[in-house]
Amino acid sequence: MGRPAPVPWLLRRPAAAVVVGFGAAVAVGTVLLLLPVATEDGSSAPVVAALFTAVSAVCVTGLIVVDTPTYWSTFGELVILGLIQVGGIGIMTLATLLGLLIARRVGLRLQLTAQAETKSLGLGDVRQVVGAILALSVVIELVVAVPLTARFALFYGEEPGRAVYLGVFHAVSSFNNAGFALFTDNMIPFATDPWICLPIVLAVVLGGIGFPVLLELGRRIRTGSRRWSLHVRITVITYAVLLVVGVAAFLITEWRNPATLGPLGIGGKAVVGLFHGVMPRTAGFNSVDVGQLYPATLLVTDMLMFIGGGSAGTAGGIKVTTFALLAFVIAAEVRGEPTVHVLGRRLPAAVQRQALTVALLGVGLVTVSTVVLLSLTPFRLDDVLFEVVSAFGTVGLSTGITADLPPAGQLVLTALMFLGRLGPITLASALALRDRVRRYELPEERPIVG
């Protein structure tokens, strides 16, 4: 038997492969958006605007520096749509494969070497996962596009071709948690229309909860099994709790706000409250003017955006699993327990350190970016912090200051969107896949804490 085929450098470093892949997509998208045919007036877009839009689309964020429906031509909108699809499905595929690799606790070098030797080991699993992601994504987007198309055509009088275009665009944007809309006021014209808002909410939840959860739920339903993995239980429970908290907090804080929920009836308030309770999961659509929200609402939304959605999905943030694991660690420490138990399982110390590292680095990145933007702009802390957290969490919600930021500030947000989208995934996978043995331990000494 001969030697196994050499493994390409990127395959030996999956985190680097994710970054390179998305960097290439951003480069291609920027070049396409710089073409004169991409704008309505036929002129070439500014480089910063093209780069910002490409990064926002690939990282499925939704922040914009120019008005999407009036500035970009149909060609430009299709480029954005393609970037959203590549960024959404691409990150789901890569992150899911990394998650499976980590969950199986198999060394990457060993797995790749074995696959190279046998030419088949694990290959079928990879193809099956990728195929399932693509199929599920297309099915969900089509299912969501149907009611949207029908509503635009039958109720709002759009031409059939235009209605299909609007339905498909917003279905793709919502499932991929992108937040791009083909209306100048985003979803504000449809704030109380459940036939528009509820399909978008459903797509956002399915895309943001994470493909590993959807895959396991489907498998368990088919087999009738009642045993769920720890990841699925943590994700579903935490996601549901944060969803209820988000909806309740928005309704409570905005109930009497004359610029948002105040003038609406009970039914309208319920639709808007549900819509904006889900959007901080990193979707970025808005059905009321975010700039008119009360400071308390902005702060709650900041926290929800920072947490984000499920792992290996289209959502950003530090992820609900990271947040939940840290909560379990705190609870165990408060109770004085030597180990952390989560839903009938013991949590490894390595996982605790990984969750803490991801969360604290996220806090540090948001803090530094906020200070930089405050020094570059005259805007209030509320608005700047909201913008920074929205970019880091790849949400896309904005109080309306994005386009008014100087080019340097927009570049800061551009970098933040890229780091916020890829940072938690690549960092978590790098930490989990790293296997280093310490051959000695130093004497123990306890410093004063608190």
Helices (H), 193-319: 194-208, 211-223, 230-254, 266-278, 295-307
The whole-angstrom separation of Cα 438 and Cα 430 is 18
Alpha-carbon distance 109 to 6, whole Å?
Answer: 11
* pLDDT band (50, 70, 90) for residue 291: very high
Is the per-residue pLDDT at 225 higher than 90?
Answer: no
Mean pLDDT value across the chain: 85
Three-class DSSP category at 39: strand
Q: Minimal CA–CA distance to 357: which of 308, 282, 440, 426?
A: 426
Tell me, what DSSP letter sits at residue 402?
Answer: G
How far is it, in rounded angstroms, from Cα 140 to Cα 146?
A: 10
Does pLDDT of 182 surpass 70? yes
The alpha carbons of the chain give a radius of gyration, in whole angstroms, of 22
What's the pLDDT tens digit per position in 360-394? 989 999 999 999 999 999 999 999 999 999 999 99
Q: Where are the chain's structural domains?
A: 11-433
What's the whole-number mean pLDDT along residues 66-82? 96
Q: pTM of the full predicted structure? A: 0.86
Each residue's pLDDT tens digit, 431-450:
555 556 667 777 877 787 77
Q: What is the pLDDT of residue 155?
A: 94
Instruction: Indicate if the pLDDT at residue 324 is higher than 60.
Output: yes
Q: Would you state the pLDDT for residue 283?
A: 87
Distance, CA of 109 to CA of 120 (rounded, Å)? 16
Query: What three-state secondary structure class fits 345?
Result: strand
Which one, of 194, 147, 139, lies nearest residue 170 by Cα? 147
pLDDT given for residue 7 in this prediction: 44
Q: Which of 70-79, 216-225, 428-437 has the highest mean pLDDT?
A: 70-79
pLDDT value of position 96: 57
* pLDDT average, residue stretch 48-58: 95
Which residue, among 149, 48, 144, has the nearest Cα to 407 in the 3D structure?
48
Q: Check whether 181 has a pLDDT greater than 70.
A: yes
The Cα–Cα gap between 333 and 215 comes to: 34
Q: What is the spatial distance between Cα 319 and Cα 299, in angstroms, rounded to a whole number?
A: 18
- Could you tell me which of 64, 74, 69, 73 has the C-alpha nearest to residue 42? 73
For residue 414, what are its two tokens?
A: 């551009």
pLDDT tens track for 133-148: 788 888 999 999 999 9
Tens digits of per-residue pLDDT, 80-104? 999 999 888 776 666 555 555 555 5
- Whole-number pLDDT of residue 100: 55
59: closest CA among 418, 429, 379?
418
